[in-house]
C-alpha cells in the first residue's frame, strides 16, 4: 500500500513537470564578423583585419525576472586568415516586453591564432593555435512572439594577448531565439 502511494505521487509529479513549458532558451546568431590583430608594443600602430562570417550558439535559462545565465559557443570564419573560436559562460540582462533591449557579458576560453614559424607566412602552414582566456560583450534588441524571438545584435570577443599580438572579433548580425 505504501509503495503504491509513492508510485502515484511520483507519476503525478512527473506528469505535472512534463506539462510545464521549458524555461530554456536556445539562440542561433549569424553575423558579419571582422577579425582584428593588433600589436601590444605599438598602441597606435598597424592593425591587421579580415572580414568574414560569425556564428554563435547560445543556451540560456532565466535566474530572475530580468537576468538569464547560460553558455555561448561561437566562431568567426574569415578568408585567408585563421579563425577565432570561443566557449564562454554568459550572463544577460534583458527586458520582458515584446520589443526589449538586452546586454550580455561573458568570460571563458578563446582559441585564436598562435605563433608561426620565423620563415613562414602569417597565416600559413606550420602556424599554431593558442588557447587563451577571453571575454566578450554583446548588446541588441529583440522582438518576442511568444516562445520565439528575432533580434539584432552587436558583439565583441577578445582573447588575452598572445606574446605581442592581441586578437578580437567584432560582430554585427541577426539572431533567432526559441524555447524548445
- Say whether pLDDT at 165 is over 90: no
Sign of the C-alpha dihedral computed for residues 60, 63, 66 and 67 taken in this order: negative
**SS3 call for 14:** helix
On whether the CB atoms of residues 149 and 120 are closer than 8 A, the answer is no
> pLDDT tens digits, residue range 95-129?
889 999 999 999 999 998 777 666 655 665 667 78
Return the top range by mean pLDDT from 13-22, 90-99, 115-124. 90-99
The residues, any chain, with a CB within 8 Å of residue 153's CB and separated by 6 or more, are 29, 31, 138, 139, 140, 171, 172, 173, 174, 175
**SS3 call for 43:** coil
Query: So what's the pLDDT on residue 156?
Result: 96
Among the ranges given (5-19, 24-38, 65-79), the one the predictor scored with the smallest mean pLDDT: 5-19
Domain 22-178: CATH class, spelled out: mainly beta
**Which residue's entry shows cell 572580414?**
51
Distance CA(44)–CA(79), nearest Å, equals: 25
What residues does 159 pair with on adjacent strands?
134
Among the ranges given (19-23, 43-47, 152-156, 165-169), the one the predictor scored with the smallest mean pLDDT: 19-23
Amino acid at each position: 500500500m505504501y509503495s503504491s502511494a509513492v508510485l502515484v505521487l511520483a507519476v503525478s509529479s512527473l506528469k505535472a513537470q512534463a506539462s510545464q513549458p521549458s524555461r530554456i532558451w536556445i539562440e542561433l546568431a549569424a553575423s558579419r564578423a571582422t577579425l582584428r590583430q593588433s600589436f601590444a608594443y605599438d598602441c597606435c600602430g598597424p592593425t591587421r583585419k579580415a572580414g568574414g562570417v560569425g556564428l554563435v550558439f547560445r543556451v540560456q535559462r532565466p535566474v530572475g525576472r530580468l537576468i538569464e545565465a547560460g553558455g555561448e559557443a561561437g566562431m568567426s570564419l574569415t578568408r585567408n586568415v585563421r579563425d577565432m573560436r570561443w566557449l564562454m559562460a554568459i550572463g544577460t540582462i534583458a527586458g520582458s516586453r515584446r520589443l526589449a533591449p538586452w546586454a550580455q557579458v561573458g568570460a571563458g576560453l578563446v582559441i585564436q591564432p598562435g605563433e608561426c614559424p620565423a620563415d613562414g607566412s602569417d597565416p600559413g602552414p606550420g602556424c599554431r593555435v593558442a588557447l587563451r582566456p577571453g571575454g566578450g560583450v554583446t548588446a541588441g534588441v529583440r522582438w518576442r512572439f511568444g516562445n520565439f524571438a528575432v533580434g539584432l545584435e552587436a558583439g565583441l570577443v577578445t582573447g588575452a594577448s598572445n606574446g605581442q599580438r592581441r586578437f578580437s572579433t567584432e560582430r554585427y548580425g541577426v539572431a533567432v531565439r526559441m524555447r524548445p
